[in-house]
Structure 1
Amino acid sequence: MISDIKEIISHFKKGDMIILIDDEDRENEGDLVISAKHLTPDHINFMITHAKGLVCAPISSEIASNLNLSLMEGVNNEMETQFTASVDLKGEGVTTGISAEDRYKTIIGLTKEDAKRENFSIPGHIFPLKSMDGGVLRRAGHTEAAVDLCKISDHYPVAVICEIINEDGSMARLEDLELFAEKHNLPIGTIKDLIEYRLETKTPVSFISKSTIPTEHGEFEAHVYRDNNDNTEHIALTHGDYLAEEATMVRVHSECLTGDVLFSKKCDCGYQLDAAFKKIVENEAGVLLYVRGHEGRGIGLGNKIKAYALQDE
């Protein structure tokens, strides 16, 4: 039976292990999840013995950055699981790194606010997973769900997850997970319900600032807003007077550094932006919404330049 998401949050906050399942259209799997704040070696041993999947440690992007944990080779799409370099804690009695005790110590090492890259051996036996900024509202994965639960519970954003595998080696699906949960007295929650909870409890956009900006096309008023899901700041440029009862000219433009700033001939983004400014001024009123964080349709600047290089071959 699926538990209410508020019950799942309550269990997680007080240190219980939970099962989280994702959408059947995605991986359609269930993971054991627990906050690193309440982790013990026994929890690790339970995961190894009963769940039998890969023990991983979801961490916030800030922690990954602070520890200088780069993504593994081949991870180049934000919809993929963001595996970083695997780690073992140095010292603290850690030997091979594979025992439940050693893995526990390594994960606890990740929770230290003063932790540094040199505190860990690479590669190791714990696999940190970098959560996407914005959590499940940006990527509906177990990594983001685990870190979101930490943040909702006011825990340091490090968790532990492990896929649940059947006795025959196949992935456990909903019916299997319900039997597993009943056998081990564990609550089951869904990432879908966590997404709905976050949408209900978080203001999606915040106003930051505004100012008049003179441009070569005339004066525009810049209104800056922050997307609270991923902290990206977007700008709405307004020109002239427009009435609520009248249709307003609006242009939505996705950020394109190569086209908008470098005037690249490989796209017409710069031309479109210039044309939008001119059209709004000709109309004597309008809004240009400049959406940031969409470089290369979401693949990022580096991958966009790689694509340019492939086109030139």
Structure 2
Amino acid sequence: DRATTILAAIDPKTRPQDLARPGHVFPLRARNGGVLVRAGQTEASVDLARIAGLSPAGVICEIMSEDGTMSRVPQLIEFCRAHGLKMVTVADLIRFRMQHERYVRRVAEAMLPTRFGEFRMIAYASEVDRDQHVALVRGELESGEAPLVRVHSHCLTGDVLGSTACDCQEIIARSLEAICNAGRGVFLYLHHTGRGFGIEAGETEPGALPKIHFHARGQLDREPARQRMVQHESGIGAQILIDLGLKDIRVLTNHPKKVVALEGYGIRIADQVPLRIAAPRATHQVL
């Protein structure tokens, strides 16, 4: 039954009314851009099929270890050896696609004076999310030790409006200051992640508008799904860093897990440098 359902689900001729709901197969939708945008199993399955010249669809099945836990890479390697199977990791697919494809391109450049010093401002356009992102470059990146890099997610309420619910505005200032003091580095401003606030899901009373939850005071920044998104959606940022000629970087961050995914895209984290925030807000976890 499941095989029949899967074949029907991936058939372009199938209409929603052809499938019973709820069913016994859980559909997942891959992000446009695949593993270069989100380093997940869903995107990897679709990418692998597409690269092989097949229909861009796949079936995901978790392999369980004898103790009942989900098998990780070391256990999966042994499983493949025992059963004569080939194995490809998400990181393998990322490296392959990074060698053959690009999803960001430079679109404009200008010099930007700030109170900390002058930066070369480079605008990038993404063919995946249709957004524009900015890299502020200070000094010559090609020489010397690994440069300082801050990967900053867009936060309207903090960056622009100066909300006291987060430290985003101060983080920007301290990052630019640290890069200028070091003489070289990159401040990467990613617009697509859209941190700051969210609209409450669910029904509201008649005539009432949905509530706005600020990420720092609500649960949006603490939800596992949100944490995974921050960790996994580093593909566009990594492509910009690679376009700038960077392979080894020192990351400005107080949240080590946030930068782990960059290493899957060919960026080596030489060091993690904490941000010195004068008076951290008690309600916010500095990223």
Name the TM tier (shorter chain). 0.3 to 0.5
Structure number with larger C-alpha Rg? 1
TM-score (norm 1): 0.44
Q: Which has the higher contact order (CA 8 A, sep 6+)?
A: 1
Question: Relative to total residues, which structure has the larger strand share, 1 or 2?
Answer: 1
